[in-house]
A and B are shown apart, each in its own frame.
Chain A
Amino acid sequence: MLFNSYEFILLFLPIAVLGFHLTSRSGNHRLPIFWLVAASLLFYGWWNPPYLFLLLLSIGVNYILGQFLGKADLNENESQGKVLLILGIAFNLGLIGYYKYFNFFIDNVNIISGISFNVAQIILPLGISFYTFQQISYLIDSSEGETRHYRFLDYCLFVSFFPQLIAGPIVSHQEMMPQFSKPTHRGVNQENLAIGLTIFSMGLFKKVILADQIALYATPVFSAADQGVALTIAEAWMGALAYTMQIYFDFSGYSDMAIGAARLFGIQLPLNFNSPYKAVDIIDFWGRWHMTLTRFLTRYLYNPIALNLSRRRLQKGKSLIKRGVGSIGAYWELVAVPTLITMFLAGFWHGAGWHYVIFGLLHGFYLSMNHGWRMLLKSFNYSPAETPWWQKRLGHIVTFGCVIVAMVFFRAPSVNNALTVLSAMLGSNGISFSDGALFSNQLFSNSKIGVLWLMGLMAIAFIFPSTQEWLSKYNPALGYKPTATETVGFQRWTTAFQHHLRWHPNQFWGMVTAAVAVTSFLGLSGVSEFIYFQF
């Protein structure tokens, strides 16, 4: 089921909320949890019932393994624990490896070997990337004694909770379990309802009105490139920029809808998106884009690899990174290698395609360069207490440029397609700014409107406060604390502006939210999936 659909908004969500309210007041405080699990499983099974069994199998196996791992850790049975953990991770990776990557694997084998293995197209189970990662984190934590004996029902909810099941946020058991065991005798409360509906509506607006509209200027470009049409420089840039904005509002909208939907039940999800296009460098960017994925990858991949390599270097008596500076060898082994490995996997996790791998490696390269640059500046003793405004502005532009390039790879159906679009952006098909030559391929119904949309969306992304900043007085997301200092210079006036225009559950905001919700609802005519549903 899609968040942006009539059946979800008019049928599923109201019934789920009502049921939750009634079961909460029933006196049995396990009943609402049971209700949420049932609703979540229905939500998932709606799209493809057989895959519901896959989800349940995954939940069951991981739960049992997790409980054993927890006990093995308590009994100090290290080797047994390690074997179980490896089996568990292998099981999860095996599932996702088969359902998500097997076709890709066979296709590449065919290309390399020349043999033509014929394998049926395997349909990707929705959300498998997310529920796999979430459960791997649970297994690893269990093996270190970080999980207690969680009840099966709570574990089920942790994995299957419908607001975050299909495209995240990737939640941790530490942040979710305590919320499930807090009994809510009074059921749904007004404040949560107001906050949840507001955030949900804002998300819906971003998806239906903003993302889906700018998509009309991105999709034709990439399709044309596929068909071998020679894109003009303006068209290529339009496509790339339009997609860069499309995915921004698509993912931002989704993250909002997830947080908003969860809030209706009084459950707080962690922040996943924090105005990433305001980032002043790529390190900042990944702390704002898909925050829970960055958190997962840093914790379970980057940290272990970097620590392992560092300890080995120490044993061999080699130098480490001290006071932010290190030798080239230290930089390579302790910064570049862990970063490249992590981002390679991050890219590949998004999808079975070489263009995703390149997306990942590009960002790995960007991040390594960013860290390396910082180290270089440090070695020349340049480390100002406060970054000068022009450095932030320049960083902002460079970062955005890097992001656009990587997004072309993310969007394009193949590496070839991406390279075609990128070379057109660099003027390989000629650079002509005369009126007729700008958009000569008739890809858009009205290119001038497209440019206006683009400028409007970029203004929103660069300047507007985020959803959580609008609602900052009401704990919009788990662990969100509004920061006093913002990263981009113009934030000073927006903070002042925000201060007077912050959201409160009053009549004015009620009307604004209603207007936003109704506009988005009226735009729901088509069925359009969230981009992140395909991962």
Chain B
Amino acid sequence: MEREAIFQQLNTVFQDVFDDDDLMVKDQTSAKDVSGWDSMAHISLVLGTEQEFGVKFKTAEVAQLSNVGEFVDLIQTKLSK
């Protein structure tokens, strides 16, 4: 799946979790940049992503997703397997 398409789809997950339909994340967006992105929101993000893309994340991967760019890269890797 193309990176840009993954990015758009991931953005909808973010919009859903943070209840902000105008939210536009970028590659460098991280927890510091989005208000309310705490440990609880992180779990919702991971779950939402798993459901949206049909992938499953490992413990280490969940914690390492410090910014959106990494999220997208990881999803792309998993989808290509």
- Taking beta carbons and an 8 Å cutoff, which residues of A are in contact with B? 140-141, 144, 146, 283, 295, 298-300, 302-304, 306-307, 310-311, 314, 320-325, 334-335, 371, 374, 378, 383, 385, 483
- Taking beta carbons and an 8 Å cutoff, which residues of B are in contact with A? 16-19, 32, 35-36, 38-44, 46-47, 51, 58-63
Contacts of A321 in B (CB 8 A): 40, 44
Q: Known contacts A144-B58, A304-B59; decide if A310 and B38 are in contact (CB<8 Å).
A: no
Cβ-closest chain A residue relative to B56: A311
Q: Known contacts A321-B40, A322-B16; decide if A300 and B47 are in contact (CB<8 Å).
A: no
A298/B36 in contact, CB under 8 A: no
Cβ-closest chain B residue relative to A284: B38
Question: Of A283, A298, A306, which is within 8 A of B63 by CB?
Answer: A298
B32/A303 in contact, CB under 8 A: no
A310 to B36 alpha-carbon distance, docked (Å): 19
B46/A307 in contact, CB under 8 A: yes
What DSSP secondary structure best describes chain B's contact surface?
Answer: helix
Q: Known contacts A303-B63, A383-B19; decide if A324 and B58 are in contact (CB<8 Å).
A: no
Return the 7 tightest CB-CB contacts between A and B, nearest first. Answer: A323-B19, A299-B63, A146-B60, A306-B43, A144-B58, A144-B60, A303-B62
A303/B59 in contact, CB under 8 A: yes
Q: How far is the CB of A146 from chain B (nearest CB, A)?
A: 4
Q: Known contacts A307-B43, A334-B43; decide if A323 and B62 are in contact (CB<8 Å).
A: no
15 pairs from A and B in contact (CB 8 Å cutoff): A140-B60, A144-B60, A144-B61, A299-B59, A303-B39, A304-B59, A307-B47, A314-B47, A314-B51, A321-B44, A324-B19, A325-B19, A371-B38, A378-B19, A483-B32
A310/B18 in contact, CB under 8 A: no
A300 to B51 alpha-carbon distance, docked (Å): 22
B62/A299 in contact, CB under 8 A: yes
Contacts of A144 in B (CB 8 A): 58-61
With A283-B38, A321-B44, A323-B18 given, can you name 16 additional A-B contacts, CB distance below 8 Å? Answer: A144-B58, A144-B59, A295-B63, A298-B39, A299-B60, A299-B62, A299-B63, A302-B39, A306-B43, A307-B43, A310-B43, A323-B16, A323-B19, A324-B18, A335-B40, A383-B36
Contacts of A322 in B (CB 8 A): 16-17, 44
Contacts of A304 in B (CB 8 A): 59
Cβ-closest chain B residue relative to A387: B35
Contacts of B43 in A (CB 8 A): 303, 306-307, 310, 334
B18/A307 in contact, CB under 8 A: no
